């Protein structure tokens, strides 16, 4: 029955399209070069719609002056250079952003009765991702030029968080030329995708822990330089109402480029280094001193949680390992604490009811990037990965329908 209904629907759609073409007002079609284009008769193409295949014949226009050709109907219907209707492309993009392309092809067949090739899903999803990127970058330009109108309206009393982190995405060999990596021979297998999120905090939950505003988290991300990523992060924060926020908090791990981004784009923010990263560095010191199984003494952890970093460094630094290599890594760890001491005033942050962990962005790295881009056997091109990351950020930020509505001709 469903198949019959779809077939019937496709027939009706075909008739409607023909009717629409016959009753369209006659327009003069102008070429980009300014000359008038003339009709060269009709050409047919098959169009896959959500109802199934619909045959479509539309007029082909050509410029006598520069020989450029054009299908004006294709432009009106948003099907230039494609055999898929916008509705089908929207499904392909969504499906391809969610799971591997082969799986997405099976899902579309099962859920929507659409038979499309996995490679086509890949192509359409990546194209949509690049359009999302273009849409974001247009908005970004606009925001930076004219200032922000936050949407949705921001509660100025809410604590406003920006948080970012990186995660490795496995890429093809050609994308790694000249890059040093973590493999034993110094080669790399991944490129770092940076992910940022913006969220707000409404206060504390019943147990007294900071509570995130439900649905307040939006994501941006890409494999790109920290400078470009800084702009991306800043534009997203502006869009979310950075200007209106009274209290801005930047939550990061202690990586150096993170500090640069905070200092450059969020100079008024309270910068907090994730407490759990700090714990890990403390454990690393214990392991250098006492072996792989060692844990950091409670006294150290108490000092860290109190934010008393200078005492912590003095205490932990009293004993240096004998070997030169051990000494070197020990000093490196101690330097991490010294460099980040200002961002580790945890007692103070607790007093202010701030989040001190970057769990939100770390979970984001898993959901937005890991689950789709880091499955076994995957090797991405940077261009393809960035398109899918853009698409996923858009969908998981709840903005995909806005994007799709914005591109309707």
Q: List the one residue out of 320, 164, 127 whose CA is nearest residue 251.
A: 164
Closer to Zn ion by Cβ: residue 63 or 373: 63
Binding residues among 61-120 for Zn ion as defined by CB under 5 A:
63, 65-66, 68
Task: Please work out the total of residues on this chain that contact Zn ion, with binding judged by CB under 5 A.
Answer: 7
Closer to Zn ion by Cβ: residue 42 or 65: 65
Closer to Zn ion by Cβ: residue 31 or 105: 31
Does 30 help bind Zn ion (rule: CB under 5 A)? no
Q: CA-CA distance, 191 to 176, in Å (whole number)? A: 8
Q: CA-CA distance, 280 to 360, in Å (whole number)? A: 18
CB of 59 to Zn ion, least distance (A): 17
What are the DSSP calls for 140-163, one per residue? HHHHHHH----SSPP-TTSEEEEE
The phi, psi pair for 49, rounded to 5°, reads -110, 175
CB contact at 8 A, 157 and 246: yes
Q: Which of 33, 228, 331, 347 binds Zn ion (CB under 5 A)?
A: 33
108 burial level (CB within 10 Å; 0-12, 13-18, 19+): buried
Closer to Zn ion by Cβ: residue 29 or 396: 29
Does 304 help bind Zn ion (rule: CB under 5 A)? no
Q: CA-CA distance, 334 to 316, in Å (whole number)? A: 8
Closer to Zn ion by Cβ: residue 31 or 248: 31
CB of 29 to Zn ion, least distance (A): 11
Structure tokens at 82: 């494609």
How many C-beta atoms surround the C-beta of residue 262 within 10 A?
23
CB of 385 to Zn ion, least distance (A): 38
CB of 58 to Zn ion, least distance (A): 19
CB of 33 to Zn ion, least distance (A): 3
202 burial level (CB within 10 Å; 0-12, 13-18, 19+): middle
CB of 63 to Zn ion, least distance (A): 3
Does 31 help bind Zn ion (rule: CB under 5 A)? yes
Closer to Zn ion by Cβ: residue 28 or 110: 28
Does 35 help bind Zn ion (rule: CB under 5 A)? yes
Residues binding Zn ion (CB under 5 A): 31, 33, 35, 63, 65-66, 68
């Amino acid at each position: 029955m469903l198949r019959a209904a779809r077939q019937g629907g496709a027939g009706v759609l075909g008739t409607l399209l023909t009717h629409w073409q016959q009753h369209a007002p006659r327009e003069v079609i102008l070429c980009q070069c300014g000359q008038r284009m003339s009709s060269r008769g009709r050409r047919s193409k098959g169009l896959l719609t959500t109802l199934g295949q619909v045959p479509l014949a539309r007029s082909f226009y050509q410029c006598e002056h520069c020989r450029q050709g054009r299908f004006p109907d294709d432009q009106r219907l948003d099907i230039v250079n494609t055999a898929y209707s916008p509705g089908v492309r929207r499904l392909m993009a969504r499906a391809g952003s969610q799971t591997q392309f082969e799986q997405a092809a099976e899902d579309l067949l099962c859920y929507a009765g659409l038979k499309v090739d996995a490679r086509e899903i890949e192509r359409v999803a990546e194209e949509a991702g690049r359009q999302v990127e273009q849409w974001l970058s247009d908005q970004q330009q606009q925001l930076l030029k004219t200032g922000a109108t936050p949407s949705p309206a921001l509660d100025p009393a809410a604590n406003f968080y920006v948080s970012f982190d990186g995660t490795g995405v496995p890429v093809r060999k050609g994308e790694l030329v000249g890059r040093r990596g973590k493999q034993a021979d110094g080669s790399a297998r991944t490129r770092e995708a940076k992910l940022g999120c913006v969220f707000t905090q409404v206060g504390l939950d019943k147990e007294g822990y900071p509570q995130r505003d439900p649905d307040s988290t939006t994501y941006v991300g890409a494999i790109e330089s920290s400078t470009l990523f800084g702009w991306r992060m800043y534009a997203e924060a502006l869009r979310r109402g950075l200007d209106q926020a009274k209290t801005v908090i930047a939550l990061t791990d202690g990586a150096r480029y993170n500090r640069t981004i905070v200092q450059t784009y969020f100079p008024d923010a309270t910068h907090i280094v994730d407490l759990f990263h700090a714990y890990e560095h403390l454990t690393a010191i214990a392991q250098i001193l006492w072996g792989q199984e060692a844990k950091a003494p409670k006294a150290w952890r108490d000092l860290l949680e109190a934010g008393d970093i200078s005492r912590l460094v003095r205490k932990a630094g009293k004993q240096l390992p004998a070997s030169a290599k051990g000494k070197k890594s020990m000093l490196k760890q101690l330097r991490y604490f010294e460099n980040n001491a200002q961002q580790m005033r945890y007692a103070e942050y607790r007093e202010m009811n701030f989040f001190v962990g970057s769990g939100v962005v770390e979970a984001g790295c898993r959901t937005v990037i890991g689950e789709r881009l880091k499955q076994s056997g995957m090797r991405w091109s940077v261009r393809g990965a960035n398109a899918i990351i853009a698409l996923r950020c858009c969908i998981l930020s709840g903005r995909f329908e806005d994007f799709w509505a914005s591109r309707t001709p």
